[in-house]
Structure 1
Amino acid sequence: MTDASPTSPDTTSVPVRLVDRLGIHLVEVSAQRAVGTMPVEGNTQPYGLLHGGATAALAETLGSYAAAAHAGPGRHAVGIELSATHHRSARAGIVTGTATAIHLGRSTATYEIVVLDPESRRLCTARLTCMLIDDRTD
């Protein structure tokens, strides 16, 4: 008999990434810029508004992908600082984020990420700094 309680690990399923859970779709990725979309539906807080944490996750995802492109082969980008100002929220539709490089160094990369609603109104302005590290082989 197997234990089917909610606390039992499911060893038959493949882990789901956060970008998949949030419905984030990457449109463009380069060291200079990354663009992606995310649906409001399924990413709301109890009042039906787009969750600020989901918006921050979109921002960090876009900046991290761009920083990884800048880091290049054999290196990783890891977020070390994220700040986000939420200007307004959305109740429906698809939001679009654009990460634009503001510093591309050897050990760090910093991006400004702007998230817009379907009417091109600014929902959030975020800033992400990633540390660029060598891949570990151990």
Structure 2
Amino acid sequence: MSDTTPAASAPSIEGTLLERMGIELVEVSARRAVATMPVEGNTQPYGLLHGGASAVLAETLGSYAATVHAGPGRAAVGIELNATHHRSTRSGVVTGTAEAVHLGSSLASYQVVVEDADGRRLCTARLTCMLIDAR
């Protein structure tokens, strides 16, 4: 993968949690990744967007970006994720944007902001990935 990878050239999500949650990659590069996710099907029993769904979106985005940063023959594995949920939503589509905080040779960290369709911040997350040799 190059430093800027079109989302279309990312690995297939068929049969993965990303497919089940309806996550659609829009942009993936080492410094930034963007994806959307529907609220429908990703709610908790009270009808609100599940906090775990926001966390899955955040880890997905940071991991994809970190994998691009890691380069050929290497992979990224999440080692720490935290998320602060500021508000929620009951419908529509949310957008997650990961921005690099640190791009090292063994670790990469990202801040991920999840927003609703009106641009209101729902969640702020931070993900740190360890960069390892792929098998």
TM-score, normalisation: structure 2:
0.89
Instruction: Tell which structure's C-alpha radius of gyration is larger.
Output: 1
Count of matched residue pairs: 122
**Equivalence map 1:69-84=2 (5 Å):** 69-84=68-83
Root-mean-square deviation (CA), in Å? 0.7
- TM-score (normalizing by structure 1): 0.87
List aligned pairs for 1:1-138, cutoff 5 A: 16-136=15-135
Aligned structure 1 segments of 4 or more residues deviating by more than 3 angstroms: none
Gaps of 5+ in 1: 1-14
2:50 & 2:101 partners in 1: Cα distance? Answer: 26
Encode CA deviations 1:79-135: one digit per residue, 9 max, x unaligned. Answer: 000000000001000000000000000000000000000110000000000000011
C-alpha distance in 2, partners of 1:16/1:105?
31
> Percent of aligned pairs with the same residue?
75
After superposition, give the CA deviation of every residue in 1:13-46 in whole Å (9 maximum; x if it has no partner).
xx72000000000000000000000000000000
CA distance in 2: counterparts of 1:37 and 1:63, whole angstroms:
14
Q: Distance in 2 between matches of 1:35 and 1:87?
A: 20
